[in-house]
Structure 1
Amino acid sequence: MRVLSIQSSVSYGHVGNSAAVFPLQRIGVEVMPIATVCFSNHTGYGSWRGPLMSGDDVREIVTGIEERGGLGGVDAVLSGYQGGDDIGDAILDAVDRVKHHSPDAIYACDPVLGNAVSGCHVSPEVQNLIRDRVVPRADLITPNQFELGFLTGTAPDTLESTLDAVDAVRDRGPRTVLVTSVQRPDRPEDTLEMLAVTDAGAWSIQTPRLPLKANGSGDVTAALFTAHIRRSGDAADALARTTASVFALLERTLASGQRELQLVEAQEDYAHPDLRFDVTQLR
């Protein structure tokens, strides 16, 4: 399996490609990473150093890969945080070029917009870009529950309203939707859910909620789910494997007392996940 991953890159810590690439490689995926930024660390620290890449920079790198024949045999294009229109346009251009050479490739987009605690933390132009132009072009999206509400103009909280919002966003283009950080009033205390919905059905999985905020965990989730479902076509299996791997990663990070994901230490959890959480079919 081969993935073209267009995301941020940091030298210290693990977000964007610096979170997604190694877990994918550990499960046998050939990854071609393209950086949208090259920062010292993620911006959650409040200060960072390093350059932003332009849309033209991304296009040049894609062109170079294309000239080597590298866009043939690609199974998926993966994208995460999009810092501006120029990067978004360059990613959509890359999707077109990959699908020209690899017609069966999918575009997997993590529509990074914000969360329920802090709201949207991207500019209005990026909000519009993702909602109006990127999501309709994607085959697979991995929003959190808040982002799903933003994309559909709803406020999903119950299981039914969340599934209704998924149906609404699927009508706009992406046939596969993974919803993360799902919280509903009737859930057991201190739990979180993820939902996966495809043409074949809908499934949920529930885990304990761990007391930490780990930058980059969503990037790992999107990457692993994309690889697993692309490989097997089985959403329930992809959901179980992704959840097991990411939960183990978060457990290791919590136990370490460190702020950054213990990405390397959890490598066996990607390759050999302990499938300890049950998947429930909803429809």
Structure 2
Amino acid sequence: MTTPPLVLSIQSHVAYGHVGNDAAMLPLQLLGIEPVAVHTVQFSNHTGYGEFKGQVFTPAHVQDVLDGLRARGVLERCTAVLSGYLGDAGVGEAILAAVQEVRASQPKAHYLCDPVMGDVGRGVFVRPGIPEFLRKRALSQASVITPNHYEFELLCGGPLTTVQAATQAARSMLRQMHDSQSALIVITSLRTDGLPTDQLATLAVTADKAWLVQTPYVDLHPLPNGMGDVFAAVLLGHLIQDKPIPDAVSRAVSSLYALVSRTEAGQRDLPLVACREQITKPVEIFAAVAVAEA
């Protein structure tokens, strides 16, 4: 029996709903990967349901859990690290220390940082200090980042109105990332001039190539929570399995589209369990098309 790869996933946790680790764990497991989940918060439910109870964990709490994993020799066996909603900028430093420790044993380990900060319509919804931490500290350690369009503009400091402008901005940002020649930026929910208004685009950019994946726009109000968390987990799962970047991005986009398009109107969560087959074998595959560059 082959031992499944381990992924250290440091994200939020809710008792009810699918966000953070509760959106990432099932996709990773279905893709044959063993998640090692460390929670940055524990809430009764995600904010999409309105009022919630629970608490944001302190950096000391997160570090204590990591110390316990370290004592079991777990960190040195992880092949990747995944992070999302932080809750507190201090937790980010504990994550980066864990990334360094994982890479000491696994030099080629991915660190996929989903820079959760905000979205169109909601604005920035994280605590002060987190956007600065992501720009100034996390970016340099990440090998993959998966911002949405709004978050990418926050990271690069300006509006992006064309695919070419987004590609150029991503190339500039790649130079700040870990192992920049193999690093990857994937911008989700891209809506720029020149793209069809009835389509939603995802742009993947490396040091020398770029691809665009387009799907029909699903007009749901409200949109389900946790979409970015699921996307990041599925993408990382395919990258760990050494799928080529365009294939990994195509499959992650296709799985997310399948889940979103099967979400009932008014539902605040993706149907991860009911439609779990769409995570491993999405019924419709949307191709990653190479971007023609000037």
Shorter-chain TM-score tier: over 0.9
* Equivalent position SS for 2:247: helix
Aligned-pair distance for 1:254? 3.0
Aligned-pair distance for 1:158? 0.5
Which of the numbers 106, 113, 129 marks the counterpart of 1:109? 113
* Equivalent position SS for 1:124: coil
Gaps of 5+ in 2: none
Please give the per-residue CA displacement for 1:46-78, whole angstroms capped at 9, x wherever unaligned: 311123211111111111111111123312100
Tell me whether 1:271 sits opposite 2:280 in the alignment. yes
Aligned-pair distance for 1:233? 4.6
The TM-score with structure 2 as length reference comes to 0.91
Query: How do 1:95-134 and structure 2 match up within 5 A?
Result: 95-134=99-138
- State the identity %: 40
Q: Is the 8 A contact 2:251 2:286 kept in 1?
A: no
Query: How do 1:72-221 and structure 2 match up within 5 A?
Result: 72-174=76-178, 175-199=183-207, 201-212=209-220, 213-221=223-231
1:25 corresponds to: 29
Tell me whether 1:224 sits opposite 2:234 in the alignment. yes
Aligned length: 282
1:240 corresponds to: 250
2:6 corresponds to: 2
CA distance in 2, matches of 1:81, 1:157: 27
Q: Is the 8 A contact 2:211 2:246 kept in 1?
A: yes
* Equivalent position SS for 2:289: strand
Amino acid at match of 2:228: G
2:290 corresponds to: 281
Amino acid at match of 1:115: D
CA distance in 2, matches of 1:273, 1:72: 33
Gaps of 5+ in 1: none
* Equivalent position SS for 1:210: coil
CA distance in 2, matches of 1:150, 1:258: 29
CA distance in 2, matches of 1:278, 1:134: 30
CA distance in 2, matches of 1:259, 1:80: 19
The TM-score with structure 1 as length reference comes to 0.95
Q: Is the 8 A contact 1:3 1:31 kept in 2?
A: yes
- CA distance 1:88–1:169, shift in 2 (3 Å): same
Q: Is the 8 A contact 1:5 1:32 kept in 2?
A: yes
* Equivalent position SS for 2:7: strand
Q: Is the 8 A contact 1:198 1:235 kept in 2?
A: no
Which of the numbers 40, 45, 50 marks the counterpart of 2:54? 50
The farther-off stretch of 258-267 and 19-28 is: 258-267
* Equivalent position SS for 1:11: strand
Aligned-pair distance for 1:200? 5.1
Q: Is the 8 A contact 1:241 1:275 kept in 2?
A: no
Amino acid at match of 1:66: R
